[in-house]
Structure formats: structure tokens, C-alpha cells
Amino acid sequence: MNYYDLIIIGGGLAGLTAAIHLKQAGFNILLVEKNEYPNHKVCGEYVSNEVKPYLKSLGIPLDKIPYADINTLELSTHHGDSITTKLPLGGFGISRYALDQQLYETAQKEGVVFVFDLATSINFIENQFTVKTSKNHEFQSKWVIGAHGKRSIIDKSLDRDFVNRKSAWLGVKCHYELDNFPNDVVALHNFNGGYGGLSKTENGLVNFCYLATYDSFKKYKDVHEFNSQVVSRNPHLERFLQHAKPVFKKPISIAQISFDKKAPVENHIIMCGDSAGLIHPLCGNGMAMAIHSAKIAADCFIAYHTKSRHLLEQRYSKAWKKEFTSRLWMGRQLQHVLMNEARSKIALKTLTKSKKLLQFMIKRTHGKPILV
């Protein structure tokens, strides 16, 4: 049986970032990830500039990736009434295919050990974790970080509250070719039963990723019909889908997306990214928040792992809640408004008359640059 200083379950943004950070701090790190790199994931693929200083401090060569530099937000209601404003902090557009691969290559160079296998259980007995996988591997460590995403077999094995409740949401993503889409804009467009984001990625393609409720989607036979019958009722999305050329053979999707609250620590496992609470699309962006949560977890581990488990868990939970609770709350409130056609029209008119209010809401849903 192999022993490590810390085991990370899940190799998305949070897992990879935490692995790099902790390996650079001198720890023996194992990362268990079910899929090999690179691969596409359902994701908005817009990253707030708040994490740039942190990524650069880890040696991530962002300057070698021709990402889209984004500084403008466009927001529209179901009927296409829209407002545009500058983003106070800005961000960059990059695909998960490219960013995850870059993080993986960096982690490999640092010496992080990777096992490409599905983690099926995490048992905590006598102050020790045993991680088992689908290929009958077993690994041990005193510490585990859970970065396994929105919903997994690990959540079921831990009997977390949200896994027993059926989710009302699904996500759909596809990349498109469209020459005249602006490089500096991230757009959030609403439609009946959902909302979607548009932004450029590092290769000049436009990422279109949206969330839709099952109730609105189940009436149609597939994504193409849903796009033409529902999504396209927003005139901005109608024009996009008419003129853009899909690059994927078919869109990728993910089901059972839950926005239920989750505990930052579960059965002594330090939860990061979506495992700690699904990062709401209206909270700025999930990519930056997942990366930031990894920094919080790594910093807490470095500071408290030699003291006590209780203190480490307490400090991580407190730091996580301080950083993300208000952003998640604001995102939920915005969702309630924008998903209601009448309320969204009133809200947009109000925001049009007061750009200061819109700027305030953006700042409430985005973080500040991470100090390193």
C-alpha cells in the first residue's frame, strides 16, 4: 500500500492547482483523476483576473497561451433587452482543454504523482485515510483534499445530503467558429428556462455554455431542437446560432447539476471547488473561485497540518466561508431575478439607469486580486 503526505481526489482546476502549490512546498502529493488529459469539460471558460497573480506565482506560463483578454460584460433578458458595461477587474478567456493541460504539465514537472483511475471510496479510520479505486488500488494518507467536482461516486459513498435530492439543472457546451465575435466581451444571455454565456477562448473559437432546467429541456428531443425552439427566442442567441459554425461533432453535456449548499469539510476531507459548493455561474466565474479555493486549502494545510486536524478544518471552513459565502448568495439572488421574465425586465431597466448599481453588483460577485 502506497503512503503519501496528502492525496487529492480529482484533477480539475482546484485539484491541479492545490497539487502544484503543495508539491512546491515540499510535500509528497498523489492526485487521483479518472480521465487523462487533455479533455473538454462543460464550463464557461472565462477566468477573472483575480487569480492571475497566484497562477503566475506557481509558475504557470500564461504568457505563452494566446488567451482572449476580456474587459466588457453584456447582459440580456429573455427578449433581448441588453446592457453593456466594463468589468472593473476584467478576465481572460481560455478553454479547459488548454488550461487543464497546462496545469497538468506543470504538476508533472514539479513531481506530483498521478494515478488515472476512478476513486470509489475514502475511508477515515484511526486518524488515517484509505482511498480505494475502481482498479483495486489502495492509497493511504493522513490528509485528503476532495476536488472531484459537482457530483461523484465519492459524494454517494459519503452520503452527502445533496446526492439524495434530484437536481433540476443540466449544462450544455459547444465551441463555435464566428469571425466577428468580439475578443474582449463575455456575454450572459437569458432564455426561457435558463441562461448561457458566450466568450472567446485562446484559439479564437467562441465557447457557448448554458444551464437549462430539466422542465424546459425535456419537452424537446435533443440539444439542437432545444436550441432552435427555446434558446433562439433570445434574439442575441438566435443571431449567434444562425451564423456560428459548431466545431464539436455534438455538444457535450452534464446532468444533475446541483446548487445546494455543501460543507467545506466532510468526514475530515477538505473540499475544494465544486466539491465544496457549486460555484454559481452568476458569481463572477467558477474557474477563478475553484483556483482560489485551492490556494486557501493549500495555505491552511501548510500552516496547520503539524498542529491539529480540528484546527486545520476550522480555519479552512472559516476562510472558505469568508471568501465565497456572500458571492454565492449574490449569485443565487441574481438567478432568481433573471430566471423570471418580468423581474428581469424591471431589473435591467433599473441597471440601465444606474451603471453604478451594475458595477456594485459585479464587484459583489467577483473577488479581489489574490495577494501572493
Q: In the predicted model, is pLDDT for residue 278 greater than 70? A: no
Judged against a pLDDT cut of 90, whether residue 8 lies above it is answered with: yes
Rounded to 5 degrees, what are φ and ψ at 188?
-120, 110
pTM score = 0.92
- Evaluate if residue 237 carries a pLDDT over 70: yes
Note the pLDDT of residue 158: 85
Select the more confidently predicted residue: 153 or 226. 226
The arithmetic mean of pLDDT across residues 149-161, rounded, is 84
pLDDT at 56: 95
pLDDT at 167: 77
CB under 8 Å to 275, separation ≥6 — which residues? 10, 14, 146, 147, 148, 149, 150, 155, 262
Over range 318-332, report the average pLDDT: 82
Does pLDDT of 15 surpass 70?
yes
Per-residue pLDDT averaged across 285-313, rounded?
Answer: 94
Report, as an integer, the average pLDDT of 221-226.
94
Q: Which residue has the higher pLDDT, 83 or 3?
A: 3
Q: Find, among 88, 95, 55, the residue nearest to 200 by Cα.
A: 95
For residues 111-122, give the mean pLDDT. 97
User: Above 90 in pLDDT, residue 126?
Assistant: yes
Mean pLDDT, rounded, for 295-303:
97
How far, CA to CA in Å, does 50 sit from each of 36, 218, 280, 363?
28, 38, 17, 11
Is the pLDDT reported for residue 215 higher than 60? yes
Average pLDDT, integer, range 314-329: 87
Q: pLDDT class for 11, splitting at 50, 70, 90?
A: very high
What SS3 class is residue 88? strand
- For strands 68-76 and 185-191, give the pairing: parallel
Neighbours of 218 (CB within 10 A): 11
C-alpha cell at 244: 456560428
Task: Assess contact for 131 and 122: CB atoms under 8 A.
Answer: yes
| Confidence check: pLDDT of 365 > 80 | no
Q: What is the pLDDT of residue 83?
A: 85
Q: With left for phi above 0 and alpha for psi between -120 and 50, is residue 143 left, alpha or beta?
A: beta
Mean pLDDT for the chain overall: 89
Q: Which pLDDT score, from 0 to 100, does residue 59 have?
A: 96
pLDDT at residue 118 tops 80: yes
Taking residues 351-370, what's their average pLDDT?
72
Handedness of CA 144, 293, 205, 338 (dihedral sign): positive
Give the strand pairing for 6-9 and 29-33: parallel
In tens, the pLDDT along 170-192 reads 999 999 999 999 999 999 898 98
Helix (H) or strand (E) segment spanning residue 61 = none
CB neighbourhood size of 54 (10 A):
20
- Average pLDDT (163-171) is 82
DSSP class of 31: E
CA atoms of 131 and 124, how far apart (whole Å): 9
Residue 137: band (very low, low, confident or very high) from pLDDT cuts 50, 70, 90 = very high
Residue range 266-282: average pLDDT?
A: 81
- Segment 315-331 mean pLDDT: 85
Give the model's pLDDT for residue 282. 54
Residue 361 above 80 pLDDT?
A: no
Conformational region of residue 59, where left means phi above 0, alpha means psi within -120 to 50, and beta covers everything else: left
**pLDDT recorded at residue 228:** 96
Residue 302 has pLDDT above 80, yes or no: yes
Please, is 39 exposed, middle or buried when counting C-beta atoms within 10 Å of its C-beta (0-12, 13-18, 19+)?
A: exposed
pLDDT confidence tier of residue 253, bands split at 50, 70 and 90 = very high
